Each structure stands twice: as C-alpha cells, then as structure tokens.
Amino acid sequence: MNLFWTILALTLGSMNSTPAAGGPQTAASWETSINQAVIQGITHQGTGTQGQTANPDGTGSSSAKVDPQPDAPEVRGIYVTAYSAGGSRMTQLLDLIDSTDLNSMVIDLKDDAGYITYPTQNAKLQEMGKPQKFIKDMNQLMARLQKHNVYPIARIVVFKDTILANKHPELSYVNPDGTIWKNGKGDSFVNPYNKEVWDYNVELAKEAAQLGFKEIQFDYVRFPEGFEKRADKLKYTKSDKSRVDVVSDFVQYAKQQLEPLGVRVSVDIFGYAASVPAAEGIGQDFVKISKNVDVISPMIYPSHYTTGWFGVKDPDKNPYQTIKGSILDTHKKLDPIGSYKPVIRPWIQDFTASWLGSGHYEKYGKQQVEDQIRALHDMNVNEYLLWNATNRYTQGVNYK
C-alpha cells in the first residue's frame, strides 16, 4: 500500500457519527460530511483528459471557453447569510469591504433548508419553493451593493432542499414505508435525476442574474452523503446514467441556460475532491464539474483534513502547509483540461474548529487567515472566499 492509500485508510479509520452536512454550513457540522461524503464511494477513476484540451463532454479538442465576465475583478469575498444581508449586520460587513481589499459578497438566495430568501413574484418559484422576507427588498440591497462597489455572487443550494422535498415528494427519495428520506440532521434532498429540479434552480438563477448578480454559485451539487449505501432501498426516479454523469450534466445545462445572461457560473465542491479519485457515491467528479463552470470553489478549510494529509499531523494547526498542499493537488487535477480550466477560487477558513479537541486545533485569527492567503498566493491563486457561518470576520487582516 503506497503512502496515499495509507493516508486514506487512516482517514477512513477516523470517521465517526457526528452530524453530517454538505456545502458551507456551520463549521462544526462539516467534519463528518467531508470524511464520509467524499471518502465514501471513492473509485479508481482517471480524469480521461491527460495531455489535451477537452470539450466539456470530454470528447476531443476545442477552443477555449469564453468568460462571460472578462472584466470581473480578482474576487476576494466573504459569505453573507440572508439574515445578515437583510439586517443590521450588513452595515458592519459593508464597512469591512470598504476598509480592506475585500471586494465581493456571496449571498444566500436559496439557503440550506431550501427557503428562497426574498419575496419573489415569480409564479414558478412561488409554487416550487417557499419565499421568505429575510431580504425584504432585493432591489434596495442590490443598489446598496453597487454603491459600495461589491461584486455580487448569488449562492443557490441545489439538491439539499427540505422545502421542495416536502412539497413534492416525487422529486425526492422515499423510504419503503412511504415517508420522505431524511439525513441524521433531519434534512432532505431532492433528486438530480429529475429535470424539474434542474429547471427550478436554473429559474431562480436567471432571476438572480436579472436582479444584478454577476455570478451564480451553486452549492450542494451532489447526492446525499453515503448515498451509495441506501440507493437500492429508496424509491426515486433514476436512469441508466451514473450519478457522476447526471450531476455534471446539470452543471453543463445550467451553464448553457445562463450564458445568454452574461453571468458567471461557479460550483462549490469538497476540498478533498482535488486530492482523491471521483466520489461516485455522491456523484461529484472534480474534473467533470470544473470543465463546465467559469469558477470552481473547493472548500479547503484546514480543519476538514485529518491527520496525515499533506504530511501534517494536525492540519488545522498548519494552515499554510495544508492550503498549499490542497492547491497543488487542485492544479494537478485541472491542468490537463487546458483551456477549460476554470478560475480557482477556494473557500478558506475564518473560524475556530474547537470540535477537533484539545491539541488538534488552534484559535483562528489574523495570523491563520493570512497564512492561508499567503499559501494561495505562493501557488498562483489570487482569488478566495472567507467562510464564517455567523459572518463575524477577523479584524486587521491583510487581504492582498
């Protein structure tokens, strides 16, 4: 067994039964989702694009993809919940943008529960979703962002959607007893095999573009964690396509639908995905997804790597080395796709992972955030997004 698979074995051995999650959520809930959702279902699958510039479908060579936002700045952004965007905290966050080299916000338009976060008048969105007034006046918000020269990114959580699953069980996964399947946290997912689900999320993305967002960031672009263990027990629509293919097909479809509107498309993906073969259990293939987006955002928080990754005993305590190793793997994964390589814009850590236990974490502050940014810069990555679930970001950081 070589070193790589030795490390994987150690990682598998470290998995536990803590709550699972998916894309950026509360920091503490991610530990198991990273270990289980990415490592489970790993197969020895190559990228299939070595040494050539490939089409998005992997067939032959083609011309370079065209960036719909060629004048976009190098994005250095923060995550903003709909509650913050529509509440008093927004003033503080805009002050942070104004006083630093940060220039972008990723704002929830459909959140982790599946709520549309503003009172849309779109009849289809009203029927499929459950619009809220977390952001009471979206036009006012967009004007405010423009005044402060904020590059606006709309975050849309796609296949984790308890609201849609409850309203339309036929679009979700049904247990043998007829109930809707839920994960350990009580969340439900909807089925990527249903095109109606695709069109619902793309419709919301189109409205976001019309509102003035420059980029659509899709999150939870995958099947539920550990899905391969329950796939044969649940009732749901399926086809002959693999889970990997149907997920990448959604991304390609969304990109094609949004291109005429001149917005970028980005996808959040597990940080581990750059370092291991395809996670077929959840349907995520780093390379196939990357071919079909303008921006890829691997979630490379040091706290979410276990002992041994990148030669580090405690990755959370070594943010520079951990980030550098993860980006090295990212370049290795994506360099072979040539002109279809997207902008690499990782999510990095601005929170303290105290759940790792004494001796395995450190309090994150100015030094730890700057170490991550320095590692990115040393690996020729100048864009990044900061994650803090409560939107409380470290003061005094040099973001250059």
Predicted confidence (pLDDT) per residue in 235-268, tens digit: 999 999 999 999 999 999 999 999 999 999 999 9
Q: What is the DSSP letter of 355?
A: G
Mean pLDDT score, 187-214? 98
Query: Looking at residue 384, what is its pLDDT?
Result: 98
Global confidence as pTM? 0.86
Domains held by the chain: number: 1
CA distance 348 to 392: 14
CA distance 55 to 288: 10
**52 is a domain residue:** no
> Which amino acid, one-letter code, is at 330?
T
Burial 13-34 (b: 16+ CB within 10 A, else e): eeeeebbbbbbbbebbbbbbbb
pLDDT in tens, 45-68: 333 332 333 344 443 344 568 999
Query: Looking at residue 93, what is its pLDDT?
Result: 98
What is the DSSP pairing of strand 295-299 with strand 343-344? parallel
> Would you give the distance in Å from CA 12 to the centre of its chain?
22
Query: Looking at residue 44, what is its pLDDT?
Result: 30
Domain housing 229: 3-44+62-387
pLDDT in tens, 111-162: 999 999 999 999 999 999 999 999 999 999 999 999 999 999 999 999 999 9
Among the listed residues 141, 234, 130, the one whose alpha carbon sits nearest the alpha carbon of residue 182 = 234
**338 is a domain residue:** yes
pLDDT in tens, 65-101: 899 999 999 999 999 999 999 999 999 999 999 999 9
Question: Which phi and psi angles does 100 have, rounded to 5°?
Answer: -135, -175
* Tokens describing residue 358: 């004494």
Residue 35 has pLDDT above 90, yes or no: no
Residue 38 has pLDDT above 70, yes or no: no
Measured at the alpha carbon of residue 245, what is the angle toward residues 56 and 298, in degrees to the nearest 5?
Answer: 70
Query: Looking at residue 272, what is its pLDDT?
Result: 87
> Which amino acid, one-letter code, is at 156?
I
**395 is a domain residue:** no
Cβ atoms within 10 Å, residue 63: 9
**378 is a domain residue:** yes
pLDDT in tens, 164-199: 999 999 999 999 999 999 999 999 999 999 999 999
**296 is a domain residue:** yes
pLDDT in tens, 343-395: 999 999 999 999 999 999 999 999 999 999 999 999 999 999 999 999 999 99
pLDDT in tens, 274-326: 998 888 899 999 999 999 999 999 999 999 999 999 999 999 999 999 999 99
- Banded pLDDT at 4 (limits 50, 70, 90): very low
SS3 for 107? strand
Residues ≥6 apart with Cβ < 8 Å to 352: 361, 362, 363, 364
pLDDT in tens, 156-169: 999 999 999 999 99
**53 is a domain residue:** no
**392 is a domain residue:** no
**213 is a domain residue:** yes
The H or E element spanning position 216 is: strand 215-219
CA distance 360 to 371: 18
* Tokens describing residue 144: 């405010």
Report the CATH number at residue 105: 3.20.20.80
